[in-house]
Protein backbone atom coordinates (compact mmCIF):
# COMPACT_ATOMS: atom_id res chain seq x y z
CA UNK A 1 0.00 0.00 0.00
CA UNK A 2 1.30 3.43 -0.90
CA UNK A 3 0.81 6.12 1.70
CA UNK A 4 2.49 9.44 2.50
CA UNK A 5 5.14 7.74 4.67
CA UNK A 6 6.14 5.43 1.79
CA UNK A 7 6.37 8.35 -0.64
CA UNK A 8 8.48 10.40 1.78
CA UNK A 9 10.74 7.40 2.41
CA UNK A 10 11.29 6.92 -1.32
CA UNK A 11 12.01 10.59 -1.95
CA UNK A 12 14.61 10.82 0.80
CA UNK A 13 16.76 7.97 -0.49
CA UNK A 14 20.20 8.96 -1.76
CA UNK A 15 20.72 8.90 -5.53
CA UNK A 16 23.93 6.91 -5.17
CA UNK A 17 24.93 4.35 -2.60
CA UNK A 18 28.14 4.41 -0.57
CA UNK A 19 29.50 1.54 -2.68
CA UNK A 20 30.59 4.14 -5.25
CA UNK A 21 32.75 5.84 -2.62
CA UNK A 22 34.16 2.44 -1.58
CA UNK A 23 35.11 1.60 -5.18
CA UNK A 24 36.71 4.95 -5.90
CA UNK A 25 38.08 5.96 -2.47
CA UNK A 26 41.39 4.10 -2.82
CA UNK A 27 44.80 5.37 -3.95
CA UNK A 28 45.17 5.38 -7.73
CA UNK A 29 41.52 6.06 -8.62
CA UNK A 30 40.19 9.45 -9.74
CA UNK A 31 36.88 10.53 -11.23
CA UNK A 32 37.07 12.33 -14.54
CA UNK A 33 34.96 13.24 -17.56
CA UNK A 34 33.09 10.65 -19.53
CA UNK A 35 32.62 12.88 -22.49
CA UNK A 36 30.55 16.00 -22.74
CA UNK A 37 28.09 14.43 -25.17
CA UNK A 38 26.95 11.83 -22.66
CA UNK A 39 27.28 14.04 -19.60
CA UNK A 40 28.47 11.29 -17.23
CA UNK A 41 31.49 10.76 -15.01
CA UNK A 42 34.13 8.06 -15.51
CA UNK A 43 36.66 6.69 -13.03
CA UNK A 44 40.29 6.40 -14.10
CA UNK A 45 42.13 3.58 -12.38
CA UNK A 46 45.89 3.18 -12.14
CA UNK A 47 48.00 0.41 -10.74
CA UNK A 48 51.71 -0.16 -10.42
CA UNK A 49 53.35 -3.44 -11.45
CA UNK A 50 56.70 -4.17 -9.82
CA UNK A 51 59.22 -5.87 -12.07
CA UNK A 52 57.48 -4.82 -15.26
CA UNK A 53 59.23 -3.49 -18.34
CA UNK A 54 58.71 0.06 -17.12
CA UNK A 55 56.53 2.64 -18.77
CA UNK A 56 52.82 2.65 -19.38
CA UNK A 57 50.09 0.13 -20.21
CA UNK A 58 46.74 1.54 -21.37
CA UNK A 59 43.42 -0.30 -21.52
CA UNK A 60 39.79 0.63 -22.10
CA UNK A 61 39.26 1.51 -25.79
CA UNK A 62 41.34 4.70 -25.65
CA UNK A 63 41.87 6.86 -28.71
CA UNK A 64 45.19 8.40 -29.71
CA UNK A 65 44.59 11.74 -27.97
CA UNK A 66 43.70 10.07 -24.67
CA UNK A 67 46.78 7.85 -24.96
CA UNK A 68 48.88 10.99 -25.38
CA UNK A 69 47.25 12.45 -22.25
CA UNK A 70 48.24 9.36 -20.26
CA UNK A 71 51.85 9.57 -21.47
CA UNK A 72 51.99 13.28 -20.63
CA UNK A 73 50.56 12.58 -17.16
CA UNK A 74 53.25 9.98 -16.43
CA UNK A 75 56.01 12.24 -17.76
CA UNK A 76 54.77 15.19 -15.71
CA UNK A 77 54.55 13.17 -12.48
CA UNK A 78 58.01 11.66 -13.05
CA UNK A 79 59.62 15.03 -13.73
CA UNK A 80 57.91 16.67 -10.72
CA UNK A 81 58.14 13.71 -8.32
CA UNK A 82 60.01 15.58 -5.57
CA UNK A 83 57.54 18.50 -5.57
CA UNK A 84 54.65 16.01 -5.40
CA UNK A 85 56.18 14.13 -2.45
CA UNK A 86 57.06 11.05 -4.50
CA UNK A 87 60.36 9.19 -4.23
CA UNK A 88 62.02 9.34 -7.67
CA UNK A 89 62.93 5.65 -7.34
CA UNK A 90 59.22 4.78 -7.30
CA UNK A 91 59.39 4.63 -11.11
CA UNK A 92 62.42 2.30 -11.41
CA UNK A 93 61.51 -1.03 -13.01
CA UNK A 94 57.80 -0.41 -12.58
CA UNK A 95 55.07 -0.46 -15.14
CA UNK A 96 51.99 1.73 -14.66
CA UNK A 97 48.64 0.46 -15.90
CA UNK A 98 45.91 2.98 -16.71
CA UNK A 99 42.42 1.55 -17.13
CA UNK A 100 39.41 3.62 -18.11
CA UNK A 101 36.29 1.42 -17.61
CA UNK A 102 33.35 0.91 -19.99
CA UNK A 103 35.54 -1.16 -22.29
CA UNK A 104 33.15 -1.33 -25.26
CA UNK A 105 32.74 2.46 -25.45
CA UNK A 106 35.49 4.26 -27.40
CA UNK A 107 37.00 7.17 -25.48
CA UNK A 108 39.15 9.98 -26.81
CA UNK A 109 40.06 13.56 -26.12
CA UNK A 110 42.46 15.34 -23.80
CA UNK A 111 40.05 16.15 -20.94
CA UNK A 112 41.15 13.28 -18.71
CA UNK A 113 44.74 14.58 -18.42
CA UNK A 114 44.31 16.22 -15.03
CA UNK A 115 42.44 13.14 -13.80
CA UNK A 116 45.31 10.90 -14.87
CA UNK A 117 47.89 13.12 -13.13
CA UNK A 118 45.80 13.02 -9.95
CA UNK A 119 45.29 9.23 -10.11
CA UNK A 120 48.99 8.55 -10.63
CA UNK A 121 50.01 10.94 -7.86
CA UNK A 122 47.43 9.33 -5.57
CA UNK A 123 48.81 5.87 -6.34
CA UNK A 124 52.43 6.84 -5.74
CA UNK A 125 51.78 8.77 -2.53
CA UNK A 126 49.25 6.26 -1.16
CA UNK A 127 46.73 9.04 -0.58
CA UNK A 128 43.21 8.41 -1.91
CA UNK A 129 41.33 11.18 -3.70
CA UNK A 130 37.86 12.21 -2.59
CA UNK A 131 35.27 10.18 -4.47
CA UNK A 132 32.99 13.23 -4.60
CA UNK A 133 35.45 15.30 -6.64
CA UNK A 134 35.32 15.10 -10.43
CA UNK A 135 38.08 16.50 -12.63
CA UNK A 136 38.44 17.60 -16.22
CA UNK A 137 41.11 19.33 -18.23
CA UNK A 138 44.01 18.80 -20.58
CA UNK A 139 47.44 18.95 -18.91
CA UNK A 140 50.61 20.12 -20.64
CA UNK A 141 54.11 18.75 -19.98
CA UNK A 142 54.70 21.83 -17.83
CA UNK A 143 51.62 21.05 -15.71
CA UNK A 144 49.33 23.76 -17.04
CA UNK A 145 45.65 22.84 -17.21
CA UNK A 146 44.20 24.15 -20.47
CA UNK A 147 40.66 25.48 -21.05
CA UNK A 148 37.98 22.79 -21.26
CA UNK A 149 35.14 22.16 -23.68
CA UNK A 150 31.62 20.98 -22.95
CA UNK A 151 31.50 22.82 -19.63
CA UNK A 152 27.70 22.92 -19.40
CA UNK A 153 27.34 19.16 -19.91
CA UNK A 154 30.16 18.42 -17.46
CA UNK A 155 28.62 20.63 -14.77
CA UNK A 156 25.23 18.96 -15.31
CA UNK A 157 26.86 15.52 -14.99
CA UNK A 158 28.58 16.55 -11.76
CA UNK A 159 25.33 17.93 -10.39
CA UNK A 160 23.46 14.72 -11.28
CA UNK A 161 26.14 12.65 -9.54
CA UNK A 162 25.98 14.74 -6.33
The rounded distance, in Å, linking the Cα atoms of 17 and 21 is 8
Q: Which of 69, 122, 131, 154 is catalytic?
A: 154
Alpha-carbon distances, residue 115 vs 53, 55, 79, 92 (angstroms):
24, 18, 17, 23
Active site residue 154: yes
Phi, psi of 144 (to 5 degrees): -75, 140
Strand segments, DSSP code E, in 5-134 are 29-33, 41-50, 55-59, 94-99
Q: Which of 111, 130, 131, 152 is catalytic?
A: 111
Residue 138: CB partners within 8 Å, gap ≥ 6? 69, 110, 111, 113, 114, 145, 146, 148
Active site residue 131: no
Q: Which residues are catalytic?
A: 111, 154
Amino acid sequence: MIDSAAVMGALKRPKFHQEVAARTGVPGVATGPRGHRRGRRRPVRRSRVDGGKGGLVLTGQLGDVMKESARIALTYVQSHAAALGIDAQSFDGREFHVHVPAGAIPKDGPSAGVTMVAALTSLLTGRPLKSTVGMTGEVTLQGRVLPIGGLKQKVLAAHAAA
